[in-house]
Amino acid sequence: MVALQLSGPAPVNLQAKFSILELAHSSRKHLTTLSSLSLPSLFISNSQQPRHPISSFPPVNQSVAAIVFGDGSESRLYPLTKRRSEGAIPIGAKYRIVDAVISNCINSNINKIYALTQYNSTSLNSHLSRAYTGLGLGKDGFVEVIAAYQSLEDQGWFQGTADAIRRCLWVLEEYQVSEFLVLRGHHLYRMDYQKLVDAHRRSQADITIAALNSTRDQDPGFGTLKVNSLNEVAEFHVKSEREPMIVPSVQSAQASNDNSYRKLSSMGIYLVNRDVMTKLLNEYFPQANEFGTEVVPGAISTGMKVQAYAFDGYWEDMRSIAAFYQANMECIKGLNMGYKSVFFLRGRLGIAPIMASH
């Protein structure tokens, strides 16, 4: 696996602070800005009220940390990924795909963002440092790049998403957050993560998986969820390049004969309780390499409470050249992505977003 080796095991710390640019639609001089997606309708769990009300939790900027992966080692976007990871691919003129995910975090008031990078990471690391350094993100807010590293204990590179999180827990646990939000850096969508966090806490879940309301072909490894009327995950069908793996929970026998269960497509977005993350990676599955295909199915099989959070908005996983081309065309034409107000970020380089005129 190709990786960027640092001179020492310490991560690159990029303190990032952001200013949010809002567009006045009536002015033509702002035609060089990218309009943001209208907020999607969301379905949240209807499970019983938690023992501790949501109001008792600290705000998300104090209690949630995001973990963003650059991706790219098994990309279908080659040759676009010949010299860069998927998250670093330009889109919408001066943006990178990863900017959409980071913008979601900022707009959701999540200001502790870790970017775990490895494959062809030079371009992505450079972009994150040059675009986001020196801007304001509130107290204790940051974007920190943790590039793949070797140490005396671990002399190999990251073997997958689970392995990367496990090896970086010593950094990720620096702040006393309640949950970790695991994100892929090559997806294009607009989501209010605060609503996802509220649903997760309201249902008292160990893990909450964001999912699309309709099943569709997508990334191998994301899979299909079978959920009940309370959005509890009963079965998890993991897609792979070979044979699909079905991981049932204790309810799966009932689920197979119950028409009240419905299928959702995983988006590869996971909200995980801090203590659950540590137990899964260090105690239950210390040899697991991939979070989506090994750790999450394993959590279901052990009886942990795994919830689904259904999402109805625009979402593109950018897993083909055709999908990437279509997303760019939709940016230009203003089709279906529907950016009605602009919430994209500018750094010291003066990165100006673009907007398609309607």
Taking Cα atoms as reference points, which of 62, 33, 56, 58 lies closest to residue 137?
A: 62
pLDDT at 212: 93
State which of 5-19, 180-194, 248-262 shows the largest mean pLDDT: 180-194
Taking Cα atoms as reference points, which of 90, 141, 29, 80 lies closest to residue 351?
A: 90
Domain 59-208+280-306+313-334 in CATH: superfamily?
Spore Coat Polysaccharide Biosynthesis Protein SpsA; Chain A (3.90.550.10)
The single-letter code of the amino acid at 224 is: T
pLDDT at 81: 84
Q: Which residues 6+ apart lie within 8 Å of 186 measured at CB?
A: 70, 71, 72, 75, 85, 86, 87, 89, 97, 98, 317, 318
The share of the chain scoring above pLDDT 70, in percent, equals: 67
- If pLDDT is split at 50, 70 and 90, which confidence band does 134 have? low
Query: How far is it, in rounded angstroms, from Cα 35 to Cα 42?
Result: 21
Q: What is the pLDDT of residues 45-67, one digit of tens each?
A: 333 334 455 667 888 889 999 99
Q: What is the pLDDT of residues 263-279, one digit of tens each?
A: 999 999 999 999 999 99
63 neighbors 179 (Cβ within 8 angstroms): yes
Strand, helix or coil for residue 210: strand
The domain locations on the chain are 59-208+280-306+313-334
9 neighbors 150 (Cβ within 8 angstroms): yes
78 neighbors 108 (Cβ within 8 angstroms): no
Task: Evaluate the CA torsion angle 74, 67, 183, 297 in order and state its sign.
Answer: positive
- pTM recorded for the entire structure: 0.76
- If pLDDT is split at 50, 70 and 90, which confidence band does 350 have? very low
Q: What is the pLDDT of residues 149-180, one digit of tens each?
A: 877 777 788 888 999 999 999 999 999 999 99
209 neighbors 227 (Cβ within 8 angstroms): no
Q: Which helix (H) or strand (E) holds 255?
A: helix 252-255
Task: Evaluate the CA torsion angle 228, 231, 233, 237 in order and state its sign.
Answer: positive
Query: How far is it, in rounded angstroms, from Cα 209 to Cα 346?
Result: 30
